Structure 1
Amino acid sequence: MEHPDMHDVIQLYQMQIGLLSSSQRDKLYQAYDQGMSPFVIGCAILRTSQERRRRNMRGQHKRISFNYLWGIIQDWFNHGITDEASFRAYWQGQQRTRTAQNGGHNAQVNTRRQVFGRDYQYEQREPAAEGFFAFLDD
């Protein structure tokens, strides 16, 4: 697998979150210039998108701003998470902590299951008896 570059990061942001202004793009490049890899910046974008989905499932349909993403990036800088290896170590630690807090089970959000057409099998019904609704037969 190829390593992502900043062009991939910009595309990921636009696909997952929305349009990126020039000042927001400059901030992402600033994080890159300070030593954060494009992989980690992309993970921050995915984490932001994940939080937006999580809030939507809870019924909190608020837009998550670029500042939320920038906060994640700054937090990861403070924790020394700037490359893929340090991110993976951090993420595995987070998963272990969540599992321990939930009594050994992965956290699950209580939501209604979304129903899709593939969940059902259509069976042709037998036609109704003729004349059953006489006013429709005309």
Structure 2
Amino acid sequence: MSHPDMRDVILLYQKQIGLLSSSQRDQLYKFFEEGMSPFVLGCAILRAKEQKQRNKRISFNYIIAIIKDWMEHGLTTEEAFKDYWIDSHSSSSYRGERNAAAKGLPKRFVRSDYKYTKPDPPPKGFFSFLDD
């Protein structure tokens, strides 16, 4: 039942999240036996760690939900996951341009869209027309 890559997944969980019970370990092995790559299982653990808010405990059920969602979407291999990751974190989708285009909204402004023009200097006195 022990697989060298799965040992890395177990160690990753224990370092990032905490102790892993035998039933939790068996659940991770079940997904491995169903075709989920150890790399993707590790990414699910890291994803849950990334979503952790403040000092809340990370639920193992949350990790299982991520894994099930990825299985339903066919993200079981390292290649499929990398393609998904690149697509979801490309510059246009990350900035929200793809979602804005789908909704018919204008794209979000980025720094390169903004041109700074220096404003005119303020008048010297309160009654500037008298300063001449």
Equivalent-residue separation in structure 1 for 2:24 and 2:95 (angstroms)? 35
Aligned partner of residue 24 in structure 1, secondary structure: helix
**What residue is the counterpart of 1:130 in the other structure?**
none
Q: Deviations over 1:12-64 (max 9, x none)?
A: 00000000000100000000000001000001011111111xx11xxxx3222
Aligned partner of residue 74 in structure 2, secondary structure: coil
Q: Which structure's CA Rg is the greater one?
A: 2
**What residue is the counterpart of 1:68 in the other structure?**
62
Equivalent-residue separation in structure 1 for 2:88 and 2:50 (angstroms)? 15
Equivalent-residue separation in structure 2 for 1:100 and 1:5 (angstroms)? 36
Pair 94,67 (structure 1): closer, same or farther in 2 beyond 3 Å: same
Gaps of at least 5 residues in structure 1 are 106-138
TM-score after normalising by structure 2: 0.67
How far residue 104 of structure 1 moved from its aligned partner, in angstroms, is 7.0
Name the % identity.
54
> Does 2:15 align with 1:10?
no
What residue identity is the alignment partner of 2:108? G
Equivalent-residue separation in structure 1 for 2:24 and 2:13 (angstroms)? 11
TM-score after normalising by structure 1: 0.64
Equivalent-residue separation in structure 2 for 1:104 and 1:35 (angstroms)? 42
CA RMSD after TM alignment: 1.8
> Which aligned pairs between 1:29-108 and structure 2 lie closer than 5 A?
29-52=29-52, 55-56=53-54, 61-96=55-90, 97-101=93-97, 103=108
Aligned partner of residue 86 in structure 1, secondary structure: helix
Q: Runs of 4+ in structure 1 displaced over 6 angstroms?
A: none
Whose relative contact order is higher, 1 or 2, with alpha carbons under 8 Å and at least 6 apart? 1
How far residue 93 of structure 1 moved from its aligned partner, in angstroms, is 1.6
